């Protein structure tokens, strides 16, 4: 009897103790698709198991103050980069943090809010992978790297519809931000386990053809074995290829063309889905949503990330 009591209290202690959450970074430039990707992950994992937070809340200056500064909000000096890293480390060790809040609608810094860790913490933003200390907090790191014309279209659409800017203003901002994008945002790409590049299918610039995705799968984490379902020649629209990244490092690249047949993509989704084996996760049909449309490449990207999040949770 004493033995059993001891075992029970030990087990209870384990549950009650600060459990290390699984943490994923989704980095990328403005309008790279971070929020859309995140929304599907939260939906699939369940809101009650997730915390998603935006690294852009760690802006050091409000909008009015930034007008007098020689750099934009993309610059690390415009953000509390060290405090972001500190908070990520605290969350990773199961502690709560008092997160600053930047109000995008007013451009003001407002009262901070308590963030309590949960099973999964999704951190999206411009610079979550900038510092080494921040990177160390993550189990999985993602960089969204859409083809630049695609990102420009996305940014114009969002900022003119939801943020009250004119298309000319958005284009001018893209030009103004380009040097800092090159200096601080894009270098994060090389620290990502998964790089996702949405863009038009080469040779198909018809806007009616859905966007394709190219996923760089770095061997920095252990990816599911897709060689069976993606045997060479089996699919016209999806293939897995051993490749070299721009810097020469070996990677797998997974191409999913926008015109993939639903039947073919289901086979791939099924293969990844079966590797997950977590009954609490909602099936793939809640994935791939872009507004009212469904994107097969997005659904597959999200499924692959779910695989990694759930593997890390084991």
Give the C-alpha separation, 186 to 152, whole Å: 15
The region that residue 258 occupies, defined by phi over 0 for left and psi between -120 and 50 for alpha, beta otherwise, is alpha
Show contacts with its own copies in window 5-44 (CB under 8 A).
none
Q: What is the DSSP letter of 194?
A: E
Q: Is residue 88 close enough to count as binding its own copies by CB under 8 A? A: no
Residue 20 CA from chain centroid, whole number: 20
Show contacts with its own copies in window 46-65 (CB under 8 A).
62
Our CB check for its own copies shows the closer of 71 and 80 to be 80
The string of DSSP codes covering 270-294 is HHHHHHH--TTSPPGGG--EETTEE
Q: At its nearest, how many Å lie between its own copies and the CB of residue 109?
A: 4
Q: At its nearest, how many Å lie between its own copies and the CB of residue 100?
A: 5
Whether 223 and 271 have beta carbons less than 8 Å apart is answered as no
Q: At its nearest, how many Å lie between its own copies and the CB of residue 130?
A: 17
Q: Is residue 67 close enough to count as binding its own copies by CB under 8 A? A: no
Return the sign of the alpha-carbon dihedral for residues 203, 206, 210, 211.
positive
Interacting residue with its own copies among 9, 18, 35, 96 (CB under 8 A): 96
Interacting residue with its own copies among 95, 106, 166, 231 (CB under 8 A): 95
Paired sense of beta strands 108-115 and 120-125, if any: unpaired
Show contacts with its own copies in window 109-128 (CB under 8 A).
109-112, 114
Whether 36 and 188 have beta carbons less than 8 Å apart is answered as no
Show contacts with its own copies in window 145-204 (CB under 8 A).
none
Q: At its nearest, how many Å lie between its own copies and the CB of residue 154?
A: 30
Q: Which residues of 92-123 are buried (b: 16+ CB within 10 A; e: fewer)?
A: beeeebebbebeeeebebeeeeebebbbbbbb
Our CB check for its own copies shows the closer of 100 and 284 to be 100
Binding track over 68-87 against its own copies, x by CB under 8 A: ------------x-xx--x-
Q: At its nearest, how many Å lie between its own copies and the CB of residue 111?
A: 4
Contacts of range 157-163, beta carbons closer than 8 Å, 24 or more positions apart: 158/31, 159/31, 163/104
Among 91-99, 141-149, 167-175, 283-291, the segment contacting its own copies (CB under 8 A): 91-99
Q: Is residue 227 close enough to count as binding its own copies by CB under 8 A? A: no
Residues at the interface with its own copies (CB under 8 A):
62, 80, 82-83, 86, 90, 95-98, 100, 108-112, 114
């Amino acid at each position: 009897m004493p033995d059993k009591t001891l075992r029970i209290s030990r087990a209870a202690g384990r549950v009650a103790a600060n459990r290390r959450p699984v943490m994923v970074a989704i980095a990328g430039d403005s309008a790279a698709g971070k929020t859309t990707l995140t929304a599907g992950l939260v939906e699939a994992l369940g809101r009650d198991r997730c915390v998603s937070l935006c690294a852009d809340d760690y802006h050091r200056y409000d909008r009015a103050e930034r007008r007098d500064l020689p750099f934009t909000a993309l610059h690390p000096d415009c953000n509390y980069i060290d405090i972001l890293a500190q908070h990520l480390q605290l969350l990773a060790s199961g502690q709560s943090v008092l997160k600053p809040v930047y109000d995008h609608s007013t451009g003001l810094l407002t009262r901070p809010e308590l963030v309590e860790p949960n099973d999964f913490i999704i951190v999206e933003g411009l610079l979550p992978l900038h510092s080494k200390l921040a990177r160390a907090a993550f189990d999985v790191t993602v960089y969204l790297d859409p083809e630049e014309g695609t990102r420009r279209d996305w940014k114009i659409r969002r900022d003119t519809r939801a943020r009250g800017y004119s298309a000319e203003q958005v284009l001018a901002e893209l030009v103004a931000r380009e040097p800092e994008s090159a200096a601080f945002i894009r270098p994060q790409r090389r620290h990502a386990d998964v790089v996702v590049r949405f863009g038009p299918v080469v040779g198909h610039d018809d806007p009616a053809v859905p966007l394709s995705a190219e996923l760089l799968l770095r061997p920095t984490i252990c990816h599911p074995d897709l060689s069976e379902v993606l045997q060479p020649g089996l699919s016209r629209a999806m293939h897995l290829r051993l490749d070299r990244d721009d810097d020469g490092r070996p990677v797998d690249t997974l191409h999913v063309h926008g015109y993939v047949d639903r039947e073919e993509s289901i086979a791939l989704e099924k293969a990844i889905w079966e590797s997950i084996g977590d009954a609490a996760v909602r099936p793939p049909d809640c994935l791939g949503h872009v507004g009212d449309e469904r994107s097969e490449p997005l659904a597959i990207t999200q499924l692959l990330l779910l695989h990694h999040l759930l593997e890390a949770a084991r």
